[in-house]
Amino acid sequence: MKSKNKTRVLVVDDSALIRQLLTKIINDQPDLCVVDTAPDPLVARELIKRHNPDVLTLDVEMPRMDGLDFLERLMRLRPMPVLMVSSLTEQGSEVTLRALELGAVDYIAKPKIDIASGLTAYAEQIAEKIRICAQAKVGSQYHKAPASSPRPQLGYRSTEQLIFVGASTGGTEAIKEFLIDLPADMPGILITQHMPENFTRTFAERLDSLCSLRVKEAEHRERVLPGHVYIAPGNQHLSIQRSGANYLTCLSDAPLVNRHRPAVDVLFASAAQVVAQNAIGVIMTGMGRDGAQGLLQMHQAGAYTLAQDEASCIVFGMPKEAIAAGGVDRVLPLNQLATAVIERVGQRMNRV
């Protein structure tokens, strides 16, 4: 909670049904309460001034002002934690990623059908996301690398080294800034970011358009190539396997780990077992402890491990747990992680 009092939430949605459902879900929690609701951003603007809420839930498609336009103005004039309410569609995922770029902390993916029972089924998740938002740091957290000045290439084409990245809340922007800072000929990179189905493909396509590296949603049993980034698909664990001289991706619908699928621990544990000292592990912003044990296993297997520092994290949960577990070699700001990885890759190259 923000204080000894309840976390105070303003619900903004043009649907009276959604406003009613979210209000009930939030007010049923002992530590949360809805201070008011608004049918559009213009009403919301006045209610923000009146109530000074801790968290805002914001729909995307609304009358009088688009949710993204409102979010952009809000984050410029009065930054506050915002939880987006987005449809679970391809179009909805594109808009949601844009909202996260503008400064939203997280999002609720509305079911495409039977919204009433769907949202009620997500009640615990919605409440947890609001709690995360209440703890999150908002504002300009990230270093923006100029797209016109790509990193010089390393002259590196070996398939021995691999880089593994895990993130959750705040991770879409952190991963983007990390990858933008890497040259096109890095070792293969595997990433688990907590996201639902339909969002990860859009996320990968967005990164691919911005980065020198080739970014794609991972497929089952494809060869991991230098200069390529593989994003774990929503609702599937991603891990690494060895087949002769090649590394292959492996996708699985095995049970949730740390309440997640994909889970960072699954990816990191496979890196420890299969890649060992030739792996580099990076854990970024996110709530919870997913990835902490996996990164420790990587560290114990001889991998080089990095964690994003508290000041540059939206939520310092996952890196904090990894550091406490003793599995982190270096703790660095987001805008120094890429340089540290490049330097490590160069050191390993020089040893060969």
> What count of residues does the chain have?
352
Active-site option among 36, 265, 290, 309: 290
Averaged pLDDT of the chain: 91
Is 228 known to be catalytic? no
Q: Is 265 a catalytic residue?
A: no
Q: How confident is the model at residue 153 (pLDDT cuts 50, 70, 90)?
A: low
**Which stretch, 77-86, 140-149, 287-296, has highest mean pLDDT?**
287-296
Q: Check pLDDT > 60 for residue 20.
A: yes
| C-alpha angle 319-248-342 in degrees, rounded to nearest 5 | 45
Q: What's the rounded Cα separation, in Å, for the pair 36 and 15?
A: 14
Which of 101, 246, 91 has its CA nearest to residue 180?
Answer: 101
pLDDT at 332: 98
CA-CA distance, 171 to 192, in Å (whole number)?
10
CA distance 173 to 267: 20
Q: What is the pLDDT of residues 318-350, one digit of tens each?
A: 999 999 999 999 999 999 999 999 999 988 666
Count the Cβ atoms, other than its own, within 10 Å of residue 3: 9
φ and ψ at 5, to 5 degrees? -80, 175
d(CA 200, CA 203): 5
Using one digit for the tens of pLDDT, what is the confidence trace for 38-81? 999 999 999 999 999 999 999 988 878 888 999 999 999 999 99
Q: Which of 277, 174, 202, 195 is nearest to 237 (CA)?
A: 195
The count of other CB atoms within 10 Å of the CB of residue 221 is 11
pLDDT of residue 108: 87
Query: Under 8 Å CB-to-CB from 85, ≥6 apart: which residues?
Result: 13, 18, 22, 57, 58, 59, 60, 107, 108, 110
Higher pLDDT, 43 or 112: 43
Which is the catalytic residue, given 86, 168, 239, 312?
A: 168
3-class secondary-structure state, position 239: strand
User: How would you class 19 by CB atoms within 10 Å of its CB: exposed for 0-12, middle for 13-18, buried for 19 or more?
Assistant: buried
Q: In the 3-class helix/strand/coil scheme, how is 99-164 assigned residue by residue?
A: HHHHCCCEEEEECCCCHHHHHHHCHHHHHHHHHHHHHCCCCCCCCCCCCCCCCCCCCCCCCCCEEE
Asked if 316 and 310 count as a contact pair (C-beta separation under 8 A), the reply is yes
- In this predicted model, what pLDDT tens digit does every residue of 181-233 receive, in sequence order? 999 999 999 999 999 888 999 999 999 999 999 999 999 999 999 999 999 99
pLDDT greater than 70 at residue 149: no
Predicted confidence at residue 190, as pLDDT, reads 98
Which residue in 36, 106, 194, 265 is the catalytic one?
194
- For the chain, percent of residues with pLDDT exceeding 90: 77
Q: Which domains does the chain have, with CATH numbers?
A: 7-135 (3.40.50.2300), 162-351 (3.40.50.180)
Average pLDDT over residues 115-144: 81
**Which residues face 37 on adjacent strands?**
11
Q: Where are the alpha helices (DSSP H) in the chain?
A: 16-27, 41-51, 67-77, 90-102, 115-121, 123-135, 171-180, 199-210, 264-274, 292-300, 317-325, 334-351
Task: Note if 194 is an active site residue.
Answer: yes
The 3-state DSSP class for residue 6 equals coil
How far, CA to CA in Å, does 196 sit from each of 86, 157, 193, 199, 222?
Answer: 12, 33, 9, 6, 22
- Reported as a single tens digit per residue, the pLDDT across 275-307 is 999 999 999 999 999 999 999 999 999 999 999
